[in-house]
Each structure stands twice: as C-alpha cells, then as structure tokens.
Chains A and B, each alone.
Chain A
Amino acid sequence: MTQQQLASLVGVTRQTIIAIERGGYLPSVQLALRLASAFGMPVEAIFWLDGEAKEG
C-alpha cells in the first residue's frame, strides 16, 4: 500500500501520513483508529508510547 493510497483510505493528505511516520505529528484518536482499521491491526500495534517496548 502506498502512502497516497493509505491517505485516501483514511481521508487525510499524503503529507500527513509522512508527518505521522516521521513522528512530526501525533494523530487524533479517531485518525489512529482509522489507520489501525486500514491496516487491519489493533491500534497499539502501530502506535505506542515513547520508552515503551513495541510488542510483537
């Protein structure tokens, strides 16, 4: 899946996806849930707190 496809799927710009990937923007809970839904994963699998070990 490309960044543009993901952006279209969740209703944001490609630049927002890039900013989230780089840690420059913290998405809202709603957007985080939409991203998780787009990936078919639980939200904690793609977002986690700093200093917390990523599971899986």
Chain B
Amino acid sequence: MRAYYVSRLGIAAILGCVLGLGGLQWWLSAAGAALVLLFFLIAPKSGRYVVRSQGGVAPLRRDERTQAIADKAARNAFIITMLALGGLVVAYGSFVRQPIPSGALGGVLALAFCTYPVSEVLLRRSSRRRSLPDE
C-alpha cells in the first residue's frame, strides 16, 4: 500500500505542475492536485475499489461485486434514458405535434446522469442490507 500512496502523491504533484505550467493560477493548480490526491486517498477505503499491486500505473480496480453493481447501474440509466426519450418522441409527435425543444433533451440527459449514481447507491445498499439467510 505504501507504494500506492507514494505513486499517487507523485501523480498528484505532476498534475499540479502541469496545471500550473498550463497557465492556471497556482492556487487552482494546487487545489486540483489536492482533489486528485484526496480521491486516491479515499478510493481504497470507499468500498468501491481494491488496490492491486500488479495493476501497474492504474492499481485501482473494481472487484467483481462493485463491477456488477456498476454494470447494473449503467443498464438502469440506459433503460430510463431510452424510455424517457421514447416517451418524449411519442408525446411530441402524437400529442403536442411540435418539434422537441432542446431543453427537454437536456432534461433527458440530466435524468441519465442522475439515474446512474442513484441506482448505484441503491444497489450497493440493497446488497448490504439483506438479512442473514436461515441456517
């Protein structure tokens, strides 16, 4: 784990330097590097990722349960988005009989962006809260 933290500190420092050399204000560069470092510090404790030393420069990996949850959440977001889009097309094509406003399409995209994290959190909770099986 020590190698992981040292390498992530290096990556955050390099990112800060790149942002700074790219013309960003020094405090914004430092804040960006700090945010990235914070993510790397929290990720192994979050229950979403495991650190695999054989992972090379990308040692954070989802385990099989978190990968299954991410897949289901992505599937849910896709289905909800398609249903919302279909409903919008049918509603505007059959009832309103007007072109679909871009704001409504933005709403569908926002729905997709919200569905994924909400679905992910609910799936994670449901798999943890189930009671012990009868023995």
Write out the residue numbers on chain B whose beta carbons fall within 8 Å of the beta carbon of A12.
50, 63-65
Classify chain A: how many residues form its interface, as a range: 10 to 19
Interface residues in B, total, Cβ within 8 A: 20
Known: A24-B127, A25-B127. A16 touches B133 (CB 8 A): no
Distance in angstroms between the alpha carbons of A24 and B132 in the assembled complex: 8
User: Do the beta carbons of A11 and B127 come within 8 Å of each other?
Assistant: no
User: Which residues from 13 to 56 on chain B have a C-beta closer than 8 Å to any C-beta of chain A?
Assistant: 47-50, 52
Write out the residue numbers on chain A whose beta carbons fall within 8 Å of the beta carbon of B132.
21-23
User: Do the beta carbons of B63 and A14 come within 8 Å of each other?
Assistant: no
Write out the residue numbers on chain A whose beta carbons fall within 8 Å of the beta carbon of B135.
54
